Amino acid sequence: MILTVTLNAALDITYRVPRLQPHTTHRVTEVCERPGGKGLNVARVLTALGHEAVATGFAGGGTGDALRSLLAQETSVTDALVPLGGATRRTVAVVDEATGDTTQLNEPGPVVTPAEWDAFMSTYRELLADARAVALCGSLPPGVPVDVYARLTRAARTAGVPVLLDTSGEPLRRGLAARPDLAKPNADELAALTGSTEPLRAARDARRRGAHTVAASLGADGMLVVTSDGAWQAAPPRRIAGNPTGAGDSAVAGLLSGLVEDLPWPARLSRAVALSAATVRAPAAGEFDRGTYEELLEEVMVTEHPAVA
């Protein structure tokens, strides 16, 4: 199975409005609620691709109960979330149907106590015993030390489980030092980490900081990956209009599934980019439009850069 970790899970709420205008009242045309947080989105896409996925992290309060209920109803993801005394956060996405743009509002999340963290670590170590790969995803809730992704990476490496790290800021910087197998920042996160806005140069810099491989999401321009053997970039053949929420999470699922299937890097990139673009066409994060995915998978363009040390 593939294990995903979401320390700051959320109940995702998506509103669709005809047109979003400040300082006015809006009539919502559609409401969608989903279990959210990066790792949960990744797990849902993995199961849709035919992989067994187990999701761990934290869930608590009324929103945590709603999240777990929806997770049980909507997917075949195995719930291994650890109970939390505080309430799971909510995220609200408002989709402007006139423009296709999305406005996102993210709550900070509940405080995690030392006892709750110890319970999570016990669960995490047990789950690693059966994992073929693990994804460490998203922001950190209050009360969790900033170096926790480094700790979780080292625990996975000790267990012989490949690690994908998808976070930002100081947790990303410290996590890289623990040498994850793959880091997946977006272009802004990569620039903030390295100080370079040139993706290839920044990805190479991130590798020197510890990651074995760096896959950088470049938005509409696709994805760039830098490994010890070379670098490749993949891009969709055309821009896809829709809601981009969760597109990066679907890319992570593509990379993880390609890893456990031992696909060559061009094939992994094609899958990740096609899934990411197909998620833009889906109504909510953690889903993808199957027809768009299958169509784009044959059309994604992959180019190779010179090998890097």
Residues recognised as catalytic = 249
Rounded Cα gap, residues 285 and 271, in angstroms? 17
Rounded Cα gap, residues 183 and 180, in angstroms? 7
Rounded Cα gap, residues 165 and 182, in angstroms? 6
46 within 8 A of 53, measured Cβ to Cβ: yes
Amino acid letter, residue 149: Y
193's enclosing H/E stretch is helix 187-194
Q: State whether the Cα torsion 196-187-90-136 is positive or negative.
A: negative
Among 164, 149, 144, residue whose Cα is nearest residue 86 = 144
- Looking from the CA of 88 toward its CB, the CA atoms found within 13 Å total 28
The torsion region of residue 176 among left (phi > 0), alpha (psi -120 to 50) and beta comes to: alpha
3 within 8 A of 40, measured Cβ to Cβ: no
Given the DSSP bridges, would you call strands 89-96 and 163-166 parallel, antiparallel or unpaired?
unpaired
- Looking from the CA of 22 toward its CB, the CA atoms found within 13 Å total 1
Per-residue CA distances from 107 to 91, 136, 141, 152 (Å)? 6, 20, 10, 24
CA angle 292, 295, 296 (to 5 degrees): 85
CA angle 152, 146, 12 (to 5 degrees): 80
